[in-house]
Amino acid sequence: MTTYQFFITTWEWNPTPLLLCALVLMGYFLAFGLRGRPLYLAVALIVFLVALMSPLSALADGYLFSAHMVQHILLVLIIPALFLLSLPPSFFLPRPIKTLAHPFIGWIAGVGAMWLWHAPTLCNAATTLKAVSVIQTISLLLMGSVFWWQVLAPRDSERLSPPAGIVYLFTACTACSVLGIILTFAPVSICPAYQQPVDRLGILKVIRGPWGLTSERDQQIGGLLMWVPMCLIYLTAILAQLARWQSDSTANPEKSHA
């Protein structure tokens, strides 16, 4: 299989994500009509489908650790953030879930999503067993949402104050960078399943040959993705916090301890 063939043929028209997207879309419009920001939702759903059905997903499924990392970042950081941004201010969390909206839990969820699923055993299980992979996907989306709620909740009053938000994001960024550094320089395979892939699609020769991705290099790129580009996502959020801080001239007095 050539690279071109690979990118054409490995779109996996899996009905479950499509159905899920349709349900979310329907639920969203039934609940909020056009009061939210549906554009963000549309982008979130498209990214979701790309993460789960595109050649990226095929590569993440046992071939490339780095592709898995891209998927991981999309699921934890990009999709939940876009989803929260799409919600209208009238959105309220149901009471039992509201207990999750605590900065400490949010931070642990965001950082835990990175560390937990890169423990060798769990990472391996998620790569080799379909059921674990599904659990992983769902948990990443949920943990990402809990993490982002602190800075992207639909109502300003439910978000951290901008300075606190900056601390929250920066410390999370640092904690994830440390993991990225460990992955980049680890001499052993963090996720052994990617070392000797089962060549379901006959693409391995292309990956190792023309693409030049040995399993060591692959893991290094995975670690670097977590280290550098992911930090840029946090940095963008930090700058957004600063912008919010500098622009809110009408903030209510009790919040202005800054």
To another protein, the closest distance from the beta carbon of 229 in angstroms equals 8
Instruction: Give, as ranges, the residues between 25 and 84 that touch another protein (CB under 8 A).
Output: none
Query: CB of 114 within 8 A of CB of 151?
Result: no
Cβ closest to another protein, residue 3 vs residue 214: 214
User: Is 157 an interacting residue with respect to another protein (CB under 8 A)?
Assistant: no
User: Is 124 an interacting residue with respect to another protein (CB under 8 A)?
Assistant: no
CA distance 18 to 26: 12
Site string for another protein, 178-217 (x = CB under 8 A): x--xx-xxxxx----------------------------x
To another protein, the closest distance from the beta carbon of 160 in angstroms equals 15
Residues 6+ apart with CB under 8 A from 117: 72, 123, 126, 136, 139, 140
CA distance 151 to 136: 23
Cβ closest to another protein, residue 31 vs residue 239: 239
User: Is 246 an interacting residue with respect to another protein (CB under 8 A)?
Assistant: yes
CA distance 92 to 98: 9
**DSSP code per residue over 206-222:** HHHTTT---HHHHHHHH
| Sign of the dihedral through C-alpha 200, 205, 211, 212 | positive
Please report, as ranges, the residues that interact with another protein according to CB under 8 A.
163, 166, 170, 173-174, 177-178, 181-182, 184-188, 217, 220-221, 224, 227-229, 231-232, 234-235, 238-239, 242-243, 245-246, 249-251, 253, 256-258
